[in-house]
Amino acid sequence: MRILVTGGAGYIGSHTCKALTHQGHTVIVYDNLSTGHRELVRWGDFVFGDILDTQRLRACIRQYRIEGIIHFAASAYVGESVVEPGKYFRNNVCGTLSILDAMRDEGVPYIVVSGTCAVYGSPDNMPIIEDTPANPINPYGASKLFMERMLADFENAHGIRWISLRYFNAAGCDPDGETGEWHEPETHLIPRALMAAIGKIPALEIFGGDYPTPDGTCVRDYVHVSDLADAHLRSIDFLSKGKKSHIINLGAEKGTSIYEVISTVKEVTGVSVPYIISPKRTGDPPILQADSTKAKIILEWKPKYSNLNFNINSSFLWINKYNK
């Protein structure tokens, strides 16, 4: 198929472009490079453009005769969303609306979007299933939840089918070292812990050490980025067969605390991770852990790489190879 990948120059997008290409799909990356990197566009053609530019999107869809879209282009930092909510509603909500308008006008029948576990907020029961009530506690989660509402409404009005993949914490890098996690600045826990271990930053900052968790630090579910890419392939194939829309969780189904990550980084690198405890951030729930049963049933998806040691080892390979 001919697949347009918005945000394909980014972290999860570039891994998905590699996976799509290896499965024989034709990939067109559409990205404004505001957070992505041209160097990561190694699989498929590149079109420079902003998702808010609906006319450019329509022209791209026509030129390449696009059959389906995978949508990664969004702002994705919880902390930033609290202080800059307008940026998140503009990019995530208005940007997705622009894509849906272009799809409607050009007759593109289906889309896979990057959702998030942030739509659940801070639920009482773990693990989290898709029927857990959505109650986002930050603008990032709220913007992603509204994206899903728009998808449902556009399907009702225009027949556009969709899958929203609600990831938990994306982690790791391409096992072959061909693409990886490249954020400026880097904010994710595993690469920052590695950066602290090898002296690229003075210390890892831990936001809160007195959460109601076994060791007082936040617990998250780390799913390898290559497993996420595989889920996107399975989703676009699922929709191409005329099947119905879904919301689907993606996680490793294992909760890992920050201190556990720090301990494993030491095992991998042989170096202790210097860290400091800072105040909690607004919008951070204590625990997020997935139930991915629906992904296993609907998509026949089974995580291949999502264990903590592999997440950290593959990230360490990328950091060492490219000296990030």
Closest CA to 317 of 183, 181, 188, 170: 181
pLDDT of 300 over the 90 cut: yes
**3-class DSSP state for residue 205?**
strand
- In the structure, what pLDDT confidence band is assigned to residue 323 with cuts at 50, 70 and 90? low
pLDDT of 102 over the 60 cut: yes
Tokens read off for 132: 């857990």
- Which residue reads 């060791």 in tokens? 215
Provide the whole-model pTM.
0.96
Tokens read off for 300: 């026949």
- In the structure, what pLDDT confidence band is assigned to residue 324 with cuts at 50, 70 and 90? very low
Encoded amino acid at 154, one letter: F
Q: CATH classification of 189-220+253-290+305-322, choosing from 3.90.25.10, 1.20.1260.10, 3.40.50.300, 3.40.50.1260?
A: 3.90.25.10
- Per residue in 45-83, pLDDT (tens digit) is 999 999 999 999 999 999 999 999 999 999 998 889 999
Question: What DSSP string runs through 83-115?
Answer: H-HHHHIIIIIIHHHHHHHHHHHHT--EEEEEE
Domain boundaries, the chain: 2-171+223-250, 189-220+253-290+305-322
Tokens read off for 112: 């896979």
The catalytic residue positions are 140
Q: In the prediction, which pLDDT does 108 show?
A: 98
272 touches 186 (CB < 8 A): no
Tokens read off for 121: 């907020």
Number of Cβ within a 10 Å radius of residue 241? 6
Q: Which CATH architecture has domain 2-171+223-250?
A: 3-Layer(aba) Sandwich (3.40)
Q: Residue 255, Cα to own-chain centre: how many angstroms?
A: 18
> What are the CA-CA distances from residue 174 to residues 151, 194, 315 (Å)?
30, 16, 8
- Average pLDDT of 171-176? 96
**3-class DSSP state for residue 15?**
helix
d(CA 157, CA 238): 21
Q: What CA dihedral angle connects 291, 292, 293 and 295, to 10 degrees?
A: 160
- Average pLDDT of 87-93? 98
Average pLDDT value over all residues in the chain: 96
